[in-house]
Chain A
Amino acid sequence: MRRRPNYLAGFGALIWLFLVGLPLYVMLVATFQTRADYAANGPLSFPERFTLDNYVDDLNTGFAQYFLNTAIVTVCVVGIVLLLVPPLAYAIVRSDGKATGRVFRLFLLGLAIPSQAVIVPVFYLINEAGLYDNLLGVILPTAAFAMPVCALILSGVMRDITPELYEAMTVDGASPGRVFFQLVLPLAKGGLSTVVVFASLQAWNGFLFPLVLTQSSENKVITMGLYDFQTEHGVDIPGLLAAVVLSMLPILLVYLFARRALVQGLMGVGGK
Chain B
Amino acid sequence: MTTATPAATAVDGAAKTGRPGRRGRPATGVGRPGFAWAAPAAVFFGLFALVPLVLVVVLSFARWNGLGSPEFAGLENWSRLLDDPVMVKSLWLSLLLTVLGVVVQTPISILLGVWAAGRQRNRAVLSAVYFVPLLLSITAVSVLWRAVLDPNFGIPSQARWLFGDGNLLGTQAGALGVLVFVSTWQFTPLHTLIYQGAARAVPEVLYQAAQIDGAGRVRQFFHITLPQLRNTIVTSMILMVVGGLTTFDTILILTQGGPGTDTTNSAYYMYQKAFKSFDFGAASAIALLLVLVATLVSLILVRLTGYDRMRSTMEGV
Contact = CB atoms under 8 A, between A and B. Distances in A.
B12 to A, nearest CB: 10
A69 to B, nearest CB: 14
Contact of A118 (B29, B56, B111): B56
Interface stretch (B85-93, B167-175, B269-277): B269-277
A47 interface: no
A201 B135 contact: yes
A30 to B, nearest CB: 7
A190 interface: no
B128 interface: yes
Given A12-B111, A43-B158, A84 B44 contact: yes
Contacts of B123: 13
B305 interface: no
A interface residue count range (under 10 / 10 to 19 / 20 to 34 / 35 or more): 35 or more
Determine the main DSSP class of A at the interface with B: helix
B7 interface: no
A112 to B, nearest CB: 6
Given A23-B148, A176-B33, A237-B153, A119 B287 contact: yes
Contacts of B38: 87-88, 91-92, 95, 99-100, 103
Contacts of B126: 13, 17
B41 A88 contact: yes
A95 B274 contact: no
Interface in A50-104: 80, 83-88, 90-101, 103-104
Nearest to B184: A19
B73 interface: no
A169 B18 CA distance: 14
A17 to B, nearest CB: 6
A228 B274 CA distance: 20
A272 B242 CA distance: 21
Nearest to A10: B115
Contact of B249 (A19, A177, A208, A244): A208
B236 interface: yes
B196 to A, nearest CB: 7
Contacts, number: 337
Contact of A20 (B34, B130, B194, B242): B130
A93 B208 CA distance: 37
Contact of A9 (B50, B59, B115, B193): B115
Interface in B1-20: 1, 9-11, 13-15, 17-19
B253 interface: yes
A84 B275 contact: no
B61 interface: no
B267 A204 contact: no
B269 to A, nearest CB: 11
A114 B15 contact: no
18 contacts: A3-B211, A3-B217, A13-B115, A30-B147, A43-B157, A83-B10, A83-B40, A88-B42, A95-B33, A100-B38, A104-B315, A110-B50, A114-B242, A114-B267, A144-B49, A176-B14, A177-B11, A266-B194
| Nearest 10 CB-CB pairings of A with B | A267-B197, A170-B31, A205-B137, A144-B48, A118-B52, A121-B52, A87-B10, A121-B55, A91-B37, A88-B41
